[in-house]
Amino acid sequence: MQGSMDVSSGEQTPLGAFLNRIMQRSVLTADEQQAILDLPTQTVHLRGKQDFVHINEQVAYSCLVVSGVIARVGQTAKGARQITSVHLPGEMADLHSAVRPIGLGGMTALCPSTILRISHGAIRQVAARFPAIAEAFWRDCMLESAILLQWLLNVGRRDAQTRLAHIFCEVAVRLGRNRTAACQYDFPVTQEQLGDAAAMTSVHVNRSLRALHARGLLTVTRGRVTIHQWEALARAGEFDPTYLLADMEPHRQERLRISV
């Protein structure tokens, strides 16, 4: 078997970004990396607020986010929506659907977005051919489960400002922003959509954002988020990034390197 050298020359491509994401937690050989970069894809451009997978819909592909923000949503009998997760560029929005091809929730673009569709058949074939890739995909799904647990805690037990602060901290980490100083990133979602993610009305979101700004913690302007004081915002959001970073420690990488 070849060594675990990095061949992700497709680093700037969407599949290259996804490969970089899973290699933060998994050690893959050159052949395994190339197999991911060679997955067949279909590009789809989505309008803002466009639903593209419906609840309980049978699907034959998973979606890799190229640009924009994709959300998974649930809906009550009266039509009220709850955003249960958001997916950012470089992330696979529904990798789990390769083994459970019934939509766990609807999928919608929160803003103009581009995705790559990757057939379940291609995903299953590459996982069957390379067990280490199957393990990497499994680990990626477990990360999504860890994020879901925090989102459940967020809407169930935290107050309004804490909920929003937590979401903005999490998105910053997932986008790879510096966690030791001020930072900026694009997160082009509306206050109504933030409310759907945090179980708040848009009025309450607006009031809470103004309060966080008054405390000198962050500013949100036209989809651009500026975090002025990272540590203070993390405290305000009860944010501990361990659930996002726990399996990225060097000694864990070495253990996996030995196992392959």
Quote the domain boundaries for residue 134. 14-139
Q: Residue 256 has what pLDDT?
A: 57
129 and 173 share a domain? no
pLDDT interval class at 4 (50, 70, 90): very low
* Count of domains observed in the chain: 2
> Could you tell me if residue 69 is inside a domain?
yes
Show Cβ contacts of residue 245 under 8 Å, excluding neighbours closer than 6 positions: 173
Which residue from 18, 31, 171, 203 is spatially nearest to 93, judged by alpha carbons? 18
Lowest mean pLDDT among 91-100, 143-152, 244-253: 244-253
Query: What average pLDDT does the chain have?
Result: 91
pLDDT interval class at 253 (50, 70, 90): low
Q: Residue 57 has what pLDDT?
A: 93
> Could you tell me if residue 258 is inside a domain?
no
> Could you tell me if residue 22 is inside a domain?
yes
Domain endpoint, select from 104, 139, 174: 139
Q: Is 21 a residue whose pLDDT tops 50?
A: yes
pLDDT interval class at 180 (50, 70, 90): confident
> Could you tell me if residue 99 is inside a domain?
yes
Which residue from 225, 213, 137 is spatially nearest to 174, judged by alpha carbons? 225
> Could you tell me if residue 112 is inside a domain?
yes
194-198 contacts at long range (C-beta below 8 A, 24 or more positions apart): 194/164, 194/167, 196/71, 196/73, 196/81, 196/82, 196/83, 197/71, 197/83, 197/86, 197/151, 197/167, 198/154, 198/155, 198/160, 198/163, 198/164, 198/167
State pLDDT tens for residues 209-234.
999 999 999 999 999 999 999 999 99
77 and 176 share a domain? no
40 and 119 share a domain? yes
124 and 92 share a domain? yes
Lowest mean pLDDT among 7-21, 104-118, 196-210: 7-21
80 and 129 share a domain? yes
Domain endpoint, select from 87, 110, 139: 139
Q: Give mean pLDDT, residues 17-29.
A: 92
Q: Residue 179 has what pLDDT?
A: 82
pLDDT interval class at 105 (50, 70, 90): confident
Q: Residue 259 has what pLDDT?
A: 52
